[in-house]
Structure 1
Amino acid sequence: MQWVETTGRTVEDAKEAALDQLGIDASEAEFEVIEEPRTGLFGRMRNEARVRARVKPKSPRPKQERRPRRTRSRKDDAPRSGGDSAGADSETTDTDDEGSAEAPATKERPARRRRSSKPRSASTNQEGSAMSDEVVNVDQQADIITEFLEGLLEAVAIPGTVTRNKVDDDTIELAVESDSNELGLLIGPKGQTLTSVHELSRAVLQRRAPGRHDGRVRIDIGGYRRRRQEALARFVTQQAEAVAESGVSRALEAMNAVDRKIVHDTVNEVDGVATISEGVDPDRRVVIVPASE
């Protein structure tokens, strides 16, 4: 994925701006701090913080191989015969009688049980499934998630189809369509079930293809995301035009990273206004401000 570069009064502000631009959560992003913020005379800001970010490549981290332990050489721990023991006792008694300064014999340690020094393979994870550094391209990811969605439709007994739409070189959208009114069960209130379906698909993808995932696969069910995006864009356009006319900033309700990206992209098409983000997730919101601010 390509890097995006953003600035802010602090490093955290710059990171949040990058998340808004990418439309992802912090757990899915990789950051590099290019420049720390600097203040000048009287505490005035000289340079803003500058960071760059991109979607983090998804690849499982292999376990570090365990270093084999050193094994001690085994001593001869065969038991002595009774006669030898008696003879040794007799010799000790004789030397004691003679007043010898010879040190007493030390007891031999019993041989330890050797632990296996075979190193663990780094090619397996905790669940025993094979891990791989192989790159899984976006088309292969879409194949796996399509199979999952078709199985989900069959499991809930909803007739439907899954259509693939290529948004760009790095993004594919899978649209689940059906004439059944029950498709709303997979959307849920405010798209919550749809979000859960998306998370489940990512878990299935990670299990089926544990490599490095390049690109992104989005899921839309019943056109919900498309309608949501169009409605949000119309609302934001109205708010942006009002700010441009009145010169007074307007704060929108808290939104997730995907919706905030729609807001930023929409406002960029309106002259005389700009956007800033405030707060932290899940209460982070976008504020539409006059461009002169």
Structure 2
Amino acid sequence: MTKIVASGKTIEDAVRKGLTELQVTADRVQVTVLEQPSKGLFGFIGTKEAKVELELIPEIAVVEADVTVDPIVETERFVTDVARTMGLDITIARQDSKDGLILALSGSGDLGMLIGRRGQTLDALQYLVNIVANRYSDSHLRIILDAEDFRERRRKTLEDLSDRLAGHVIRTRKEVVLEPMSPQERKIIHAQLQNHTKVKTISKGDEPNRRVVISLK
């Protein structure tokens, strides 16, 4: 079997299922996002699962690459190859941050294809590049993938959403359960509301379906 299609509640979940079925690691496959999961209003549970195609890379390519290499260079090569299969010509700039190494993508064409709806494609690609980077590194690396300053724009969107939903909880006196989010996005919401005088936040559930709950104090 060299190519399969897998589905999941998120792109990452679909990729993990595909990797399990193929019994390989992420660096052994080429991933194509076929369908984005649908989303509900204000970030509530969606109605359609994500669908991805995983194509197995020939073993000889892995053997040739399995030598002492710079893990960041190898990661950048992986991202460039993925972008090329989507018809995009990208440039990658490295930026150090307290949370890890940021690989900022820019270039010609529609980089929105790499970002996806609410950053789901970018998050899935970030998940894969961290697997690739750490395969070639003796110490743990944390890679943050960004494109067109999406991470900062998404942070602002989540902060605004947090404030709106806090107001909704106060008006209705009913808790709000958000859609499953990545740890980084949950952290943004917790931080935005941690000093709120009337509402509190908790996370519940297991990955990848862990989500934030906003309720009255």
Normalising by the residue count of structure 2, what TM-score does the alignment of the two structures yield? 0.56
1:204 is aligned to 132
2:147 is aligned to 221
Identity among equivalent pairs (%):
28
| Partner SS for 1:160 | strand
Distance across 1 between alignment mates of 2:128 and 2:212: 29
Pick closer, same or farther for the CA change 1:280–1:200 going to 2, 3 Å: closer
Q: Work out which of the residue numbers 182, 185, 192 in structure 1 matches 2:120.
A: 192
Q: Work out which of the residue numbers 88, 93, 104 in structure 2 matches 1:158.
A: 88
Distance across 2 between alignment mates of 1:174 and 1:219: 5
Please tell me the residue identity of whatever aligns with 1:160: I
Q: Work out which of the residue numbers 190, 204, 213 in structure 2 matches 1:278.
A: 204
8 Å contact kept, 2:72–2:133: no
Distance across 1 between alignment mates of 2:73 and 2:195: 35
Normalising by the residue count of structure 1, what TM-score does the alignment of the two structures yield? 0.43
Q: CA deviation at 1:194?
A: 2.1
Pick closer, same or farther for the CA change 1:235–1:153 going to 2, 3 Å: same
Pick closer, same or farther for the CA change 1:279–1:204 going to 2, 3 Å: closer
2:184 is aligned to 258
Structure 1 or 2: larger helix share?
2
Q: CA deviation at 1:177?
A: 1.7
8 Å contact kept, 1:267–1:274: yes
| Partner SS for 1:288 | strand
How many residue pairs get aligned? The number is 154
2:5 is aligned to none
Distance across 1 between alignment mates of 2:189 and 2:200: 10
Please tell me the residue identity of whatever aligns with 1:224: F
Please tell me the residue identity of whatever aligns with 1:233: E
8 Å contact kept, 2:71–2:134: no
Please tell me the residue identity of whatever aligns with 2:138: G
Distance across 2 between alignment mates of 1:282 and 1:154: 28
Q: CA deviation at 1:188?
A: 3.1
Q: CA deviation at 1:218?
A: 0.7
Distance across 2 between alignment mates of 1:242 and 1:193: 29
Pick closer, same or farther for the CA change 1:270–1:146 going to 2, 3 Å: farther
8 Å contact kept, 1:164–1:172: yes
Distance across 2 between alignment mates of 1:269 and 1:177: 36
1:38 is aligned to none
Distance across 1 between alignment mates of 2:97 and 2:107: 21
Structure 2: gaps spanning 5 or more residues: 1-62
Pick closer, same or farther for the CA change 1:290–1:223 going to 2, 3 Å: same
Decide which structure has the larger Cα Rg and report it: 1
Pick closer, same or farther for the CA change 1:267–1:143 going to 2, 3 Å: farther
Q: Does 1:148 align with 2:78?
A: yes
Please tell me the residue identity of whatever aligns with 2:145: I
8 Å contact kept, 1:177–1:223: no
Q: Work out which of the residue numbers 153, 167, 173 in structure 2 matches 1:248.
A: 173
Pick closer, same or farther for the CA change 1:151–1:277 going to 2, 3 Å: closer
1:235 is aligned to 161
Alignment of structure 1 residues 89-168 onto 2, 5 Å: 141-168=71-98
Q: Work out which of the residue numbers 200, 214, 217 in structure 2 matches 1:288.
A: 214
Distance across 1 between alignment mates of 2:127 and 2:191: 25
Alignment of structure 1 residues 39-118 onto 2, 5 Å: none
Q: CA deviation at 1:154?
A: 4.3
8 Å contact kept, 1:249–1:287: no
Pick closer, same or farther for the CA change 1:177–1:275 going to 2, 3 Å: same
Distance across 2 between alignment mates of 1:268 and 1:165: 28
Structure 1 or 2: larger strand share?
2
Pick closer, same or farther for the CA change 1:173–1:249 going to 2, 3 Å: farther
Q: Work out which of the residue numbers 178, 192, 208 in structure 1 matches 2:107.
A: 178
